[in-house]
Amino acid sequence: FIYKENKMVKICCIGAGYVGGPTMAVIALKCPAVEVVVVDISVARINAWNSDQLPIYEPGLDDVVKQCRGRNLFFSTDVEKHVYEANIIFVSVNTPTKTRGLGAGKAADLTYWESAARMIADVSKSDKIVVEKSTVPVKTAEAIEKILTHNSKGINYQILSNPEFLAEGTAIQDLFKPDRVLIGGRETPEGRKAVKALKDVYAQWVPEERILTTNLWSAELSKLAANAFLAQRISSVNAISALCEATGANITEVAYSVGKDSRIGPKFLNASVGFGGSCFQKDILNLVYICECNGLPEVANYWKQVIKINDYQKSRFVNRVVSSMFNTVSGKKIAVLGFAFKKDTGDTRETPAIDVCKGLLGDKASISIYDPQVTEDQIQRDLAMNKFDWDHPIHLQPLSPTAFREVAVAWDAYEATKGAHGVCILTEWDEFKDLDFQKIYDSMHKPAFLFDGRNVVDVEKLRDIGFIVYAIGKPLDP
Ligand code: NAD
């Protein structure tokens, strides 16, 4: 397949984001005979992909891009030209939650997808395989097919669903050795040919038994279901963590014991301040909406609960900070260590840190934030943004404009914690494990509080230093 009529096949990916960029870089690396062009309407993003300062931080990504860029990997804003020339078009545009109109707060906003599809129809002069790389509601391929076929004549479009399962922070590793690659296509001779073409690309480095082929709707739904199951595990362990704190059980011990059951397994059982990221909440809300539209309110409510527990976990954390510090943080300095939604990424979309910081600011704290990968601009933007309330306001009241004056961004953890009354650890960055906590303690007001939202510190060691420590799901300070 890689050579079609002795000509190199060309792949174009619309959307140079967290998924489009790394995925295409790995395809280019593993398929040197294929020309891969990643296009985006954002000039700034494309310029960054073409520079030494890639637009996203992902371990190992720089290396892969350096090996292929200019050889068979290109980044361009000339969207139409490269779509016109490509045989296979991946669409990896954002599919956020709708914020207004029908389905607001739950349904996926497919505006970007639709405009990409209309543009493909406008410029295409030859047959195309169009691959859904974005996470989309089940049955989206049907809508895309309609847009494409009603807007261009004589062109055969095959739509494939090829959802991406990479996790930010380990994207390159996940792409090199995926648990599975999922390809859904139409069960027609043309559909099967298209599936085979995409399979041939992945087969360059993924073992055959890991490439799964299904019908279109199974592939689309599997991605939503996988994210819902992953988030559900986090909400399950977080729900148990609340009970641990109430009873004296220790969530680390409980999770270990539960995970030892081979039917359950040990992964994704870390209690925390809550899950974040651009996908879990959005995809579950999308699932909830699809269930409601299909007359399945009980199923919708079941999945909704996963998000409610996540919101509860964040507000529980804020309440614990405030109540521990004598029921007020007004005028007190709280250091926030970590702002990204997880370690090894600079991504802050839906990070629990936003809600925690806003909760503390709402109680008139002054906060000083340090994250090794998140810029001051990003933090200020995130905190200033009004969060769309998907169901009802649970933890946040609108902040007064003066509250934002109480946000500082520090160069390192020591600057952030100097003169603080309390420290909140909100991202599990490795460097936080090795901090000199004695030095931090010495520079803080006493009693010095430490709230570990990711269970990264050695609680006993910190208590020996003198900290009053609260760690998610762990027995409280004696
Ligand atoms: P992103 O916001 O980082 O990137 C999307 C890019 O698409 C943006 O750069 C935007 O400018 C571009 N774009 C939008 N409309 C366009 C158009 N018409 N033409 C050209 N470019 C256009 O998003 P992301 O995190 O890469 O996610 C993309 C999709 O992949 C989403 O559906 C998401 O749910 C899914 N996904 C994300 C992850 C993840 O970890 N981030 C993992 C798996 C799946």
Tell me whether the CATH fold assigned to 3-206 matches the one assigned to 226-471: yes
Report the topology of domain 226-471: Rossmann fold (3.40.50)
pLDDT digits (tens, 9 = 90+) for 459-475: 999 999 999 999 999 99
With cut-offs at 50, 70 and 90, classify the pLDDT of residue 477.
confident
- Determine the Cα–Cα distance for residues 97 and 382; give it in Å rounded to an integer: 17
278 CA closest ligand 1 atom index: 41
- Annotated active-site residue 279? The verdict is yes
First and final C-alpha spacing in the chain: 66
Cis amide leading into 447 (omega within 30): yes
Residue with CA closest to ligand 1 atom 21: 40
DSSP strands (E only) in 162-300: 181-185, 211-215
Binding annotation for NAD(+):
15-20, 40, 45, 93-97, 134-135, 168, 279-282, 349
The whole-number pLDDT of residue 100 equals 87
The answer, yes or no, to whether any atom of ligand 1 lies below 6 A from the CB of 161, is no
The residue among 166, 187, 167, 360 whose CA lies nearest residue 276 is 167
More confident residue, 128 or 152: 128
- Determine the Cα–Cα distance for residues 175 and 196; give it in Å rounded to an integer: 19
pTM (predicted TM-score): 0.95
The residue among 306, 303, 169 whose CA lies nearest residue 237 is 306
Sheet holding 468-471, edge to edge: 407-409, 366-370, 333-337, 422-425, 449-452, 468-471
C-alpha 311 – ligand 1 centre gap (Å): 25
Q: Is the pLDDT of residue 132 over 60?
A: yes
> What angle (nearest 5°) sits at the alpha carbon of residue 463, between those of residues 473 and 370?
75
Q: Is the pLDDT of residue 244 over 80?
A: yes
* Contact between 332 and 366 (Cβ < 8 Å): yes
Q: Does domain 3-206 have CATH number 3.40.50.300?
A: no
C-alpha 6 – ligand 1 centre gap (Å): 33
Token reading at 432: 């936080």
The answer, yes or no, to whether any atom of ligand 1 lies below 6 A from the CB of 14, is yes
pLDDT digits (tens, 9 = 90+) for 38-83: 999 999 999 999 999 999 999 999 999 999 999 999 999 999 999 9
Percent residues over pLDDT 70 in the chain: 96
Q: Is the pLDDT of residue 124 over 70?
A: yes
Domain ranges of the chain: 3-206, 226-471
The whole-number pLDDT of residue 394 equals 42
Residue with CA closest to ligand 1 atom 29: 134
Predicted-complex ipTM score? 0.99
The whole-number pLDDT of residue 395 equals 46
The whole-number pLDDT of residue 214 equals 98
pLDDT digits (tens, 9 = 90+) for 350-405: 999 999 999 999 999 999 999 999 999 999 999 887 766 655 444 455 677 777 77
Under DSSP, the state recorded for 341 is S
